[in-house]
Amino acid sequence: MDFPRALIVLFLSMAVYLVSQIYLFFRIRLWLRHRFQDPKRQRLLSSIVAAFLLIMLFPLAWRLLYGWHFDQTYPTLFRALFAVFAIWAFGSIGVALIFLGYDLFRRLVASYSPRPVESPDLRRRDFLKKGLGVAAAAPFLVSGYGVLLARHRFQTEHFDLPVNDLSSALSQLSIVHLTDIHLGPFMPQEEVAAYVEAANRLEPDIIALTGDFVTSRLAEAEPCVQALSGLKARYGIFACLGNHDVYARADGELTRLLGQRGVRVLRNDAVSIRIGNTTLNILGIDDLRWGRPDLLHALDIAKRKPGEVQILLSHRPEIFPQAARKGLDVVLSGHYHGGQIKLAPDPDSLSIARLITPYAEGLFHLSRRRLESSGEGANDAVLFVSRGIGITGLPIRINCPPQIAHLTLRRA
């Protein structure tokens, strides 16, 4: 993964937000001058607008400096402020773009149109202003829906994972994949329990958990594990850790607590499962950036009891080309949340995640011919990247609902 690219996208996003706030301030101040004749009132209202915009910078500054860190628990005011900021941030950018387009359109029309001889059509002008007001409200309605409702409305989606020459014993093997839980200020323990119930209703053979169990605090590990302890799978539950688990210094505690609840945490490790007359290998590695990943060590362990199919759990999906060259059949990942905000529901739709990685969301394949040309591996390889169930950055999802992935192995 090109890690600096993520920082570049982050700083560009911040720049867009800051520029939009400056533009809106001057645009609103200009409107106040036309709307009110009293200079004192103009200054007072302009000061109120400036104060609000400065307050809306506070959550951004806190998030950059401290993450989600709080000494004990997350106050209601803290969560409410971030929710308001999320609505404002994306709504205001949309409004700024609408008004900027309107201003540019007016200037173009004024530049290329002859001067009007007749008096202006006031009814038409009033209609355009009302239409502009309705259009300006739309981004806030969309962002409000994304913050208050959409991020809670998860989807259970079904995908086939094609594997070359799959035996009948493993054909139709079902895997429920959960990732990026992010228990914390915007993912309470009770909400995680709802995902557990939904996952159990699928009656999976295996459950795979691919990291980011917590958001930022060690204290979040225990309630997260308690909520996940209700998960049930025929052949077991397996997990790897993510970058937030390391941020919070909760990786060791999560490994211990999950292990006590019957969840096998694979840290550069592998396990062999006997299924019918064949064997399945499940491997797991640490986070590619913040952990100490060692795929070769996990592969060496898997070779002790080699399986017909090898499935790798990796929080970040950028391991996929290397895993494919090493002969792994399936890689399950998360990390990017699908971008959380997309222009359209389609998996290939533009999002911030698409600017950072080629593996933002969905299914990806490397063909047999391509693998054979590298000189290693024989089978096709498939990667599945889940949108996850939690959030990071800001508590919002637009065209990108939380996801419980129900995966089925099928003969290619």
From first CA to last CA, the distance across the chain in angstroms is 29
Instruction: Look at residue 220 in the predicted model and tell me its pLDDT.
Output: 94
Q: Are residues 256 and 306 in the same domain?
A: yes
C-alpha dihedral sign at 383, 386, 392, 393 = positive
Instruction: Look at residue 128 in the predicted model and tell me its pLDDT.
Output: 62
Each residue of 172-228: pLDDT tens digit? 999 999 999 999 989 999 999 999 999 999 999 999 999 999 998 899 999 999 999
SS3 66: helix
Q: Are residues 20 and 118 in the same domain?
A: yes
Q: Are residues 138 and 216 in the same domain?
A: no
Q: Are residues 92 and 172 in the same domain?
A: no
Give how many domains the chain has, as a whole number.
Answer: 2
Each residue of 26-71: pLDDT tens digit? 999 998 988 888 989 999 999 999 999 999 988 877 776 666 555 4
Instruction: Look at residue 373 in the predicted model and tell me its pLDDT.
Output: 52
Q: Are residues 138 and 160 in the same domain?
A: no
Q: Are residues 184 and 300 in the same domain?
A: yes
Tokens, residue 265: 């945490």
Mean per-residue pLDDT over the chain, rounded: 89
Each residue of 110-150: pLDDT tens digit? 777 666 555 555 565 666 666 767 788 899 999 999 999 99
Each residue of 349-402: pLDDT tens digit? 989 899 899 999 999 998 755 555 544 545 689 999 999 999 988 899 999 999
Q: Which of 89-103, 107-121, 255-269 has the lowest mean pLDDT?
A: 107-121
Report which of residues 145 and 101 the model is more confident about: 145
H or E segment at 282?
strand 278-284
| Residue 84 confidence (pLDDT) above 80 | yes
Q: Are residues 178 and 299 in the same domain?
A: yes
CB 357 within 8 A of CB 317: yes
Q: Are residues 238 and 380 in the same domain?
A: yes
Instruction: Supply the CATH number for residue 162's domain.
Output: 3.60.21.10
- Model confidence at 1, pLDDT cuts 50, 70, 90, reads very low
Closest listed residue to residue 179, CA positions, set 237, 241, 229: 241
Q: Among the three residues 131, 148, 165, which one is the final residue of a domain in this structure?
A: 148
Q: Among the three residues 128, 148, 168, which one is the final residue of a domain in this structure?
A: 148
| Helix residue ranges per DSSP H, 113-212 | 122-148, 189-201
Instruction: Look at residue 200 in the predicted model and tell me its pLDDT.
Output: 98
Q: Are residues 27 and 165 in the same domain?
A: no
CB 283 within 8 A of CB 311: yes
Instruction: Look at residue 304 in the predicted model and tell me its pLDDT.
Output: 94
Cα separation, 147 vs 81, in Å, equals 12
Q: Are residues 24 and 88 in the same domain?
A: yes
- Bridge partner residues of 177 (DSSP): 208, 405
Each residue of 266-316: pLDDT tens digit? 999 999 999 999 999 999 999 999 999 999 999 999 999 999 999 999 999
Q: Among the three residues 115, 148, 181, which one is the final residue of a domain in this structure?
A: 148
Q: What pTM was computed for the model?
A: 0.89
Q: Are residues 258 and 346 in the same domain?
A: yes
Q: Are residues 350 and 292 in the same domain?
A: yes
Domain extent, residue 59, equals: 3-148
